[in-house]
Amino acid sequence: MTPLDIYVLDAPILRQETTVLSEVTDAHRRLIDDMFETMHIARGIGLAATQVGRLERICVIDIDKVKYALVNPEIVASDGEQSGEEGCLSIPEIYGDVTRAKHVVVRALDRSGKPIEIDAHDLLARCLQHEIDHLHGRLFIDYLSLLKRTAAIKKWRKLRGKDKSLTRTMPPRETAEHHDRDEEL
Ligand code: NI
């Protein structure tokens, strides 16, 4: 498994629509494995293909030791409301409150190409909505008020300083530093 570079805010690919897969191939499964590896090193709980510079409609999630690799995920039902803080591996150290559906039903293919349905509440439901948004070029900061979004982007630019690179390179797992937060998606 190879850790992949994570694209960060300003990278145009984060705003692109992904492509539906007609089948799940070995190459896709390798991408899924690399995405899990990347997400674990970055200590995230979700990662979408656009974040690693790819346009396949694939995302991975790992919440409370339950892992999901989802191909062509689609929300088929949603209800309720929850508000909570979100972060994103593509906008590290920036957080904002986002209101999402409290409950969603998602249909997707798993890594073997088998159709699955996930009935999710709370954090898993939030994570699914965040990752599926990524697969349609949407970021969590899009949901913030203009004022909060502007402040978030300003903070991000300040944290970055002179660094204008569009990717973050993940260190190999052994040397990955531990962050005090573990909830970026
Ligand atoms: Ni994200």
Q: Say which CATH number the domain at 172 has.
A: 3.90.45.10
Distance 160 CA to ligand 1 centre (A): 18
pLDDT in tens, the chain (185 residues): 889 999 999 999 999 999 999 999 999 999 999 999 999 999 999 999 999 999 999 999 999 889 999 999 999 999 999 999 999 999 999 999 999 999 999 999 999 999 999 999 999 999 999 999 999 999 999 999 999 999 999 999 999 999 989 998 987 776 555 555 556 77
Q: Which domain holds residue 74?
A: 6-178
- Would you say residue 184 lies in a domain? no
Distance 90 CA to ligand 1 centre (A): 6
Distance 15 CA to ligand 1 centre (A): 12
Residue 131: active-site member: yes
- Would you say residue 183 lies in a domain? no
pLDDT for res 176: 55
- Would you say residue 185 lies in a domain? no
Which residues have C-beta within 8 Å of that of residue 117, sequence separation ≥ 6? Answer: 76, 105, 106, 107
Contact 77, 105 (CB under 8 A): yes
3-class secondary-structure state, position 128? helix
pLDDT for res 170: 83
Rounded to the nearest 10°, the torsion over CA 55, 57, 62, 63 is 120
- Would you say residue 50 lies in a domain? yes
- Would you say residue 116 lies in a domain? yes
- Would you say residue 41 lies in a domain? yes
- Would you say residue 44 lies in a domain? yes
- Would you say residue 149 lies in a domain? yes
pLDDT for res 178: 52
Domain count within the chain:
1
Chain-centroid distance, C-alpha 77 = 20
Contact 140, 94 (CB under 8 A): no
Catalytic residue among 37, 86, 131, 184: 131
* Closest C-alpha to 60, from 40, 78, 76: 40
In the chain, % helix, strand, coil (3-state, to 5) comes to 30, 30, 40
